Structure 1
Amino acid sequence: MNLSDSQTAGVPPVNRLGATEYVRQNLEHAISAGVVKVGQRLPSEAALAARFGVSRSVVREALRVLEVRGTTATRVGVGTFVIATEPVSQVDFAGFGATDLVEARPHIEIPAAGLAAVRRSEHDLEHLQGLIESMQRTDDPDEWVRQDTELHLAIAEASGNRVFTTVLRSIKAALALQSGQLNDGSNRRLPSEHEHRSIVAAIAQGSITEAEDAMRFHLDQVKDVVLTERSNTHEGENR
């Protein structure tokens, strides 16, 4: 399979998109145009990195987004294969739809953040601040997603409410998949880190209102990206 410039025409240049989004859009364009057919294997990470002039970690992020969107499936040690020509209209995150998560999370995580502001221990605070610092340092997208998920779980644990903690732990896999898609494909990593710092700072200050407001703002940003992704997917289906 050859991803030539003509075969991926119509995608904005990389300087107008984030690198991950640029690779993702080019690959989705090639798949929807039939350049790569269902059942075929995509080129290796190294080959795609050379083709698009990006790092292998960027390619890896783009491939993960494609898998979450339902167009490809990766088999460890074998490669990434095309399984659909268009993204699915309702992205599935470990059995939960994207809408399920954005509707449910505010009812759990906003009050959890508020309670954490008044119930957190010094150990809780050190753990939260350590996760923030570690997320800023890591260059590994998978590790960033793991720590992002752990941060949200740690806030629930700091709330002292076992129901909040149990519910979030039960959807941990879904949270990780959603984080991987939104923060890679939509270039949400840096904004997310800023929002996380605001949440943890409010918890450290012991302000219920500020902690709840910071978490509400963060989840609103997540919701906006999810709705935009769904809108773009529906537009593609209707063309």
Structure 2
Amino acid sequence: MEAVLAQLREAIERGTYPVGGKLPSEAVLSREFDVSRSVVREALRGLQALGLTLSRTGKGTFVVADRPADNPRFGHYSARDLHEVRRHVEVPAAGYAAQRHRPDDLDELTALLERMEEETDNTAWVALDSLFHITIAQASGNPVFGKVIEEIRDALARQSAFLNQLGNRREASNVEHRRVVEAIASGSAEAASAAMTAHLGHVEDTLTDIVTSTRTAAPRPERRLGP
């Protein structure tokens, strides 16, 4: 997927697919790259998240910009929306969770950590990641925190999948998640808030790197794309 996205992005940036133009269908791109349509579909979602394209139901995918947007969108919310809300919700929620968690909360978080560290399927991992953050919010003892994270759950999942595919975030996230749980288990609100702040900071940094880079580091298929 990274290779397909990299070449499509480069083709858009150099004008092979101009702004206002339409990309080939999934079936055509699948044949061009000799990959499955599901791989192409994920690459197209990546282009849309970067603000390069827009998909119109029944009409296809159209190029709307020749450079990535500074503020990618994941479903109904932008990356900036998510960053701002997460810092104001998940950081204090982790602090409260350190002070108010129940033994069952730690058991559930530990079980989620273990499943995520063993999971090899990206889609399954992303679902566990969303559940992990919701569980911390619920462990805060304040149901409003949990409601807020539930509201942005789909956008968080889209962003998480995007970062894993283009930023190789899974392994680092697993380590950061464990640090958050260890801090919550310690009972220190300050340590838990700091661990969550560090995690969210790494997420933001990775997204910034992806958006600002002129091209991804992924190897590209040796294929010539036509308009």
**For this structure pair, what is the TM-score category when the shorter chain's length is used for normalisation?**
0.7 to 0.9
Structure 1: runs of 5+ lacking an equivalent: 1-19, 234-239
Structure 2: runs of 5+ lacking an equivalent: 215-227
1:146 and 2:146 are equivalent in the alignment: no
1:214 and 2:184 are equivalent in the alignment: no
- Output the TM-score relative to the length of structure 2: 0.77
Pick from 96, 101, 106: which aligns with 2:77? Answer: 96
Question: How has the CA–CA distance of structure 1 residues 112 and 196 changed in structure 2, closer, same or farther, with 3 Å as cutoff?
Answer: same
- Taking the aligned partners of 2:106 and 2:94, their CA distance within structure 1 comes to 12
Question: How has the CA–CA distance of structure 1 residues 163 and 186 changed in structure 2, closer, same or farther, with 3 Å as cutoff?
Answer: same
Q: Which runs of structure 2 are paired with 1:1-239 in the superposition (5 Å)? A: 21-35=2-16, 38-43=22-27, 50=34, 62-71=43-52, 82-84=61-63, 86=66, 87-232=68-213
Question: How has the CA–CA distance of structure 1 residues 57 and 102 changed in structure 2, closer, same or farther, with 3 Å as cutoff?
Answer: same
Identity in percent: 41
Question: How has the CA–CA distance of structure 1 residues 73 and 152 changed in structure 2, closer, same or farther, with 3 Å as cutoff?
Answer: same
- Taking the aligned partners of 2:48 and 2:34, their CA distance within structure 1 comes to 21
Say if 2:26 and 2:37, in contact at 8 Å, map to a contact too: no
Give the length in aligned residue pairs: 209
State the one-letter code of the partner of 1:150: L
- Taking the aligned partners of 2:49 and 2:154, their CA distance within structure 1 comes to 12
- Output the TM-score relative to the length of structure 1: 0.73
1:80-124 CA distances to partner (integer Å, 9 max, x unpaired)?
x54216344432222222112112211111111111112111221
Give how far 1:153 is off.
Answer: 0.7
* Coordinate RMSD, CA, aligned: 3.0
